[in-house]
């Protein structure tokens, strides 16, 4: 079943308190997608700030800053991540995330550690069973999700990849 994976899309969310007085470009209403069950109306105010691009570690990154309810700022960083299943992927991902943190957070913010980063890897694959892909690449996917260069034990891999959501036969979300 091996399918060669040359790239995936990566989203890095950098979440921290909003301490700047910036003017929003737009107020974005949040509307749940049709067909997804069990969602209630959402009453969160989202302000989109001006988007911009960065060139870091040889990668073009699109950054969309957002402010949620006036208190939380999220820098949504989107880029193409090449060779995500290679032996160098974890190190490259970590270097890029560190570069984003150094660029988007103030030195004071980095020092006070009142921020969090979340990685999302999006693989656009034409597979009948995404669970087979996860099983085949489980050790590396676990390392990528946790940004850990050292190999995991079989039990650690299983614990890392255990939380899954599937809305259709050909999609799968693995979260840690």
Domain containing residue 167: 126-176
Q: Say what the pLDDT of residue 164 is.
A: 84
**Residue 123 CA from chain centroid, whole number:** 12
Residues 132 and 119 placed together within one structural domain of the fold: no
Question: Beta-carbon neighbour count of residue 169 at 10 Å?
Answer: 10
Answer yes or no: pTM beyond 0.85: no
Q: Say what the pLDDT of residue 96 is.
A: 96
Q: Total domain count for the chain?
A: 2
Mean pLDDT (10-residue bins), the chain, 176 residues = 79 91 62 58 81 96 94 95 92 95 94 91 83 90 89 92 83 77
Q: Say what the pLDDT of residue 26 is.
A: 64
Residues 114 and 157 placed together within one structural domain of the fold: no
Q: Say what the pLDDT of residue 31 is.
A: 59
Residues 70 and 152 placed together within one structural domain of the fold: no
Q: Say what the pLDDT of residue 93 is.
A: 94
Q: Say what the pLDDT of residue 4 is.
A: 76
Residues 52 and 68 placed together within one structural domain of the fold: yes
Task: Look up residue 52 and give its two tokens.
Answer: 């911009």
Residues 65 and 49 placed together within one structural domain of the fold: yes
């Amino acid at each position: 079943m091996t399918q060669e994976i040359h790239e995936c899309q990566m989203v890095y969310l950098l979440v921290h308190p909003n301490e700047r007085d910036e003017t929003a470009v737009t107020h974005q209403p949040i509307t749940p997608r049709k067909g997804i069950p069990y969602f209630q109306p959402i009453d969160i105010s989202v302000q989109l700030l001006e988007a911009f691009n960065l060139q870091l570690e040889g990668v073009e990154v699109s950054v969309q800053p957002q402010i949620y309810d006036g208190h939380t700022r999220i820098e949504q960083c989107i880029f193409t991540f090449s060779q995500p299943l290679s032996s160098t992927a974890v190190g490259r991902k970590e270097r890029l995330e560190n570069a984003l943190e150094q660029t988007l957070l103030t030195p004071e913010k980095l020092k006070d550690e009142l921020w969090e980063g979340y990685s999302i890897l999006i693989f656009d694959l034409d597979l009948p069973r995404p669970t087979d892909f996860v099983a085949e690449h489980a050790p590396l996917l676990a390392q990528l999700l946790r940004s850990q260069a050292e190999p995991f034990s079989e039990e650690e891999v299983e614990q890392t990849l255990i939380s899954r959501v599937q809305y259709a036969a050909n999609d799968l979300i693995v979260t840690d």
